[in-house]
Structure 1
Amino acid sequence: MKLKQTLLAGSLSLAMVLSLSTVASASNKVNFEQNTATDNTYGYVDSEVDQFKTYTTYVKGKSLDTKLYKPVSGDTLVVVFHGNGEGGVEGKTNNYTQLAGNRLAVTYTEKEIQEKFKGAYVLSFQAPEDWYHDHTAEAKQVIDQACKEFGIKQKFVSGLSAGGLMSERMLSTYPDFFDGALFSCAAIAKNGTSVEGLGGDYTLDYSSMTDENTLPDDLDKPEDGSKHNQTLKLQRPADFNAYLSKYNTWLDKIAQSKTPLFMVHAQNDNTIASSWTKYAYKYISTQRQQLENNTPTYYQIIDDTNYDTTTSWSQHWSWIKMLNNDVTDSTNTIKTIDFITSLSTSKNTYQEKETSLPLAGKSDQENTFKFNLVAKVKDDGEKVTTAIIDLAGKKLKDTNLDAKMFKVTAYATDATGIASSQ
């Protein structure tokens, strides 16, 4: 996207802030007032997130919250399903967190990717609670609506963690509906979590973890022979055999389809066992070979989710490198983002979308200047990075601006945008 940014005064680096502040210079008193009349819930602007507009809203049993990015033109749709931390709380949703929690949705709006898709709509869903509940029918209804409204010719699905589970659920429920799928660490057999349609009885005591309580050898044993799941405290559901049988039914339907797949996981993921992705890949690819189905099927188990500049990221966050196009499949054939964009057959004439950050506006108060807090979705979530002050045509010496002049207040807010603590 082309970003037209008007910077009317110096920028101040901030972290996760919402504030209203007053400063006193040597000659007079100057007030700085935050502009909170922004498009999103939290009173700041984000050039990527703000390009998404509400498409549908949650209606129990009928529809789901969605935000939609519209290109200048295009006939491709990318559907994205968030992870467990970005859903609603007991049915209360904000239709926003699915964009801010990580770069899953906004990645597909990046110029290079949009250009390869020749313009793609991006439809980002938010579950009323989580994707462990079966919302396939509601999701399919919204996707069908978007396809009809925008003349969509190709559809792709991408997800992470619980959204990876939802991607697999959609792929098995509607075989051949999607033209490609890219997802990471699909939430199969998550400790303590029951999955509608699969099961998941976790009545076993963690303190009595033994070989019998973890996954069986064909799923559990890493190549180095270590007790991988015992170390990571990943638990086997008590109804494992029934769970696995139902999951195999999902995989059978996926294997029979012509939908190209790329699955990613981190070896030491202590939320979802990476052995499940290995299992899914082996099952699907074997079935496709037997069916003489040559549809591309890729996977990769990465060693580490961190980069040289990071050390503390969870090993569950394999989607970061997946979305950064930093994962090559196990056969060293293709990278993740290159894979999904290579499936595009669009003949659309691509036009780059221009965007601009709004000005904070003129204050009604004398000697008061409004400022916008500007955010960006980083690899580890959305953060406010800059304050841009709208001087409304007046002059103010840069020497009169100092970070110490600003009082910063941070808030922790849950997914509903209702409960908060200062």
Structure 2
Amino acid sequence: MNILLKSAKIVCPDNKELHLKKRDILIKNGIIEKIGTSVEGPANAKVMDHKNLHVSLGWFDSGVSFGEPGYEERETISNGLIVAGKSGFTDILLYPSTHPVPDTSSDVVFLKERGLNKATIIHPMGTLTKNSDGTDLAELFDMKNAGAVAFYDFKKQVANPNLLKIALLYAQNFGGLIFSFPQDGNIKGTGVAHEGKISTILGMKGIPALAEELQVARDLFVLEYTGGKLHIPTISTAGSVKLIANAKKKGLDVSCSVAVHNLFLSDESLQGFDTHYKVSPPLREKSDCKSLIKGVSDGTIDFVTSDHIPVDIEHKRVEFDNAMDGSIGLESTFGCLNTIFGLDETVDILTKGRSRFGLEEPVLKEGAKACLTLFNPDEDYTFGLEDVLSTSKNSMFLGSSLKGKAIGVINNDQITIK
């Protein structure tokens, strides 16, 4: 496939020669052949000359759910990858949130094969324990060899600290990365929203910040004892930011992420009892949002994830207490981040960190594989249903004012464009 990008403004803060320069880019058979001020392509080249076309290295999301296998009515892998590509993502880490869960090497192989020959590449996680039930470790080594990039019991705490200890010690033998969800289930109890002024006014059962911070503190103590590599996904409180910052100062090998909605929205959004805003961990107070944003900017928080979780209408159109947690976020992530951080920082957030998961970092130069995202960062709009590409429509960003839209991706000698 031959593709010619015309007058594309390159956003690549690490490349001073090309950063914010307008260039033509010729791609032949998946390889960047020429970058120049005026490039002629072959007659059969697909010419991309979108208005205000910008290009960067391909974007990476460290936490996405689809439904397949088991919950295809929520989202299939095939359509999910199209959604990810049209949202600007060339690489996604796939949560082990299916039924059955991927706890064997054959499950990991199945997921990878379902994502073959797509512009957006799946990097599956395996579960940490068999059946994700928190009792016995799953086939970590075999799953790693099959292509699993990390091990995670999706949205479940590692209740047994000895299990976490054993997992961290064992995974060091093959460089495995262990995820530990930051929420103590006993303290959370039956809570459905952040414990604070808003939950009190609304009469909702609260989930205190303590439920998260106690779990984070425990996990960091275990990591300090064992060594190994730990990732704490989707932190949500100011206290967690401080705990992880201190752990990094000690030299512990810990990384963490935050869901984009915990940066963009606070628990004030819950006042209409709209179940689209029910997520785990919950939306916190505005002061937490500010601390999380600062943590992203100063590098304490390593990744911002869409935490994209499709949920069918039957599990959302119920009472708030009974609704399933989760919001889709792939389509709105760029607009949210660009609104908060501005263009350069947003692109840096979206392109960094693949190496943490043992993945190759792309480069933007002649002779390199084309792993590119196309976008328009200047479009102001209100995010509406017409912007939702997913099968499930459970987006908490509906009605939000955003800036910037993805156009699509060129990657793996494939193209996905809106």
- Which interval holds the TM-score relative to the shorter structure? 0.3 to 0.5
- Name the larger-Rg structure: 1
Q: TM-score, normalised by structure 2?
A: 0.35
Greater fraction helix: 2
